[in-house]
DNA sequence: ATGGTGGCCTTGCCA
């Protein structure tokens, strides 16, 4: 049974519930993972989602910041959440589909402006968060699992609009890329998006501060779809829906899709 | 080196 999964940093799900519903109507992924919902779970606008067939929800939230949700047409079992780096933030939740596939939905800390933990606590928290992800995956050895989310790191040179210019910019520094790679390696995670689209520049985020984001195209690939090796060969049809970044009152992120034949 | 935009916890904080 093939199923299609999408990940999207929505930057306030209550403000953009209409955009979520539009994506559900037009693209109809079986599972839609959201980050930065910025809402307590009890205030999520779930009625409209359920009316479109997304009746199954596993979410964590808090007022104003962070928040992750898995909205699904398929039944979900809540597998809980982990508070990596003990931040007390809603940045992870996991669920299992009836076919036995586990889905991890992550919103990794952005890390502040200065890439130096001695002067920027948030950068240290980001690195610690990634180290604890690494340790957890090393202990858990995930199988039949998919990891998606806004990982707030663009690891490859062609994941950013200008590699050299961004080497000291948080999201593309070598130490962040190393930490992300260690977490990926520890879980045996395969980068599904790059398995399907191995060549060429690919972005999922364009800053609001860029006056003409589309023409300037100063993007970064911050949003990822990973899978464990045992199911990675069943993945195909990865794509970034860049046009969604151009919708009315958009999120600064575009959704990333993949399909799995399982 | 700086500031640019956007959302919410608002007159600052976070991304």
Strand B: which positions are within 7 A of a protein CB? 4-9, 14-15
Rounded CA separation A80/A150 (Å): 19
pLDDT confidence bin for A175, thresholds 50/70/90 = very high
The band of A108, judged by pLDDT with boundaries at 50, 70 and 90, is very high
A11 touches strand B (CB under 7 A): yes
Q: Report residue A11: phi and psi, to 5°.
A: 50, 65
Q: What is the mean pLDDT of residues A148-176?
A: 98
Class of A2-261 in CATH:
alpha beta
Task: Report residue A211's pLDDT band, with 50, 70 and 90 as the boundaries.
Answer: confident
Per-residue pLDDT band for A150 (boundaries 50, 70, 90) equals very high
**What is the pTM for the complete model shown?**
0.98
**Mean predicted confidence (pLDDT) in A216-233:** 98
Average of pLDDT values for A220-238? 98
Q: Is the pLDDT of residue A103 over 90?
A: yes
Q: Å from A113 (CA) to B7 (C1')?
A: 19
Output DSSP code: residue A250. Answer: -
User: Is A9 among the annotated ligand-binding positions?
Assistant: yes
Does A150 qualify as catalytic in the annotation?
yes
A113 is annotated as contributing to ligand binding? no
Rounded Cα–Cα distance for residues A238 and A7 (Å): 11
How does pLDDT run across A6-39, given as a tens digit for each residue?
A: 999 999 999 999 999 999 999 999 999 999 999 9
Q: What is the mean pLDDT of chain A?
A: 97
Rounded to whole angstroms, how far apart are CA atoms A7 and A242?
A: 13
Cα A151 from chain centre? 6
Cross-sheet strand order for the sheet of A68-72: A56-60, A68-72, A31-35, A2-9, A256-261, A235-240
Question: Is residue A201 annotated as involved in ligand binding?
Answer: no
Work out the average pLDDT over A45-72: 98
Our measurement of CA A85 to C1' B13, in angstroms, reads 21
Whether residue A166 is predicted with pLDDT greater than 90 in this model: the reply is yes
Q: With beta carbons less than 8 A apart as the criterion, state whether A225 and A3 touch.
A: no
A133: left (phi over 0), alpha (psi -120 to 50) or beta: alpha
Judge if the beta carbon of A41 is closer than 7 A to nucleic acid strand B: no
Going by C-beta distance under 8 Å and a sequence separation of 6 or more, which residues neighbour residue A198?
none
What's the pLDDT score for residue A45? 98
- For residue A222, what pLDDT band results from cuts at 50, 70 and 90? very high
- Angle at which helices A174-187 and A121-140 cross, to 10°: 20
Which of A92, A104, A150, A223 does the annotation list as catalytic? A150
pLDDT of residue A158: 98
Q: How far is the CA of A10 from the C1' of B9 (A)?
A: 18
Average pLDDT over residues A114-126: 96
């Amino acid at each position: 049974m093939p199923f299609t999964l999408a990940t999207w940093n929505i930057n306030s799900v209550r403000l953009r519930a209409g955009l979520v519903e539009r994506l559900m109507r037009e693209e109809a992924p079986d599972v839609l993972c959201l980050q930065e919902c910025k809402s307590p779970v009890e205030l999520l606008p779930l009625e409209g989602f359920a009316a479109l067939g997304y009746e199954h929800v596993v979410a964590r939230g808090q007022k104003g910041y962070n928040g992750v949700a898995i909205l699904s047409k398929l039944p979900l079992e809540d597998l809980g959440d982990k508070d990596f780096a003990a931040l007390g933030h809603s940045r992870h939740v996991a669920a299992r589909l009836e076919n036995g596939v586990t889905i991890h939905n992550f919103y990794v800390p952005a890390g502040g402006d200065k890439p130096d933990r001695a002067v920027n606590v948030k950068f240290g928290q980001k690195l610690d968060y990634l180290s604890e992800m690494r340790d957890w995956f090393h202990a858990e050895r995930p199988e039949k699992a998919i990891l998606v989310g806004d990982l707030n790191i663009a690891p490859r040179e062609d994941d950013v609009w200008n590699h050299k210019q961004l080497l000291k910019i948080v999201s593309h520094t070598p130490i962040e890329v190393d930490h992300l790679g260690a977490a990926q390696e520890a879980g045996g995670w395969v980068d599904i998006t790059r398995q399907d689209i191995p060549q060429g520049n690919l972005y999922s985020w364009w800053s609001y501060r860029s006056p003409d984001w589309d023409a300037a195209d100063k993007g970064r690939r911050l949003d990822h779809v990973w899978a464990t090796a045992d199911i990675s060969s069943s993945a195909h049809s990865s794509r970034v829906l860049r046009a969604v970044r151009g919708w009315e009152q958009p999120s600064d992120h575009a959704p990333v899709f993949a399909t799995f034949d399982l």
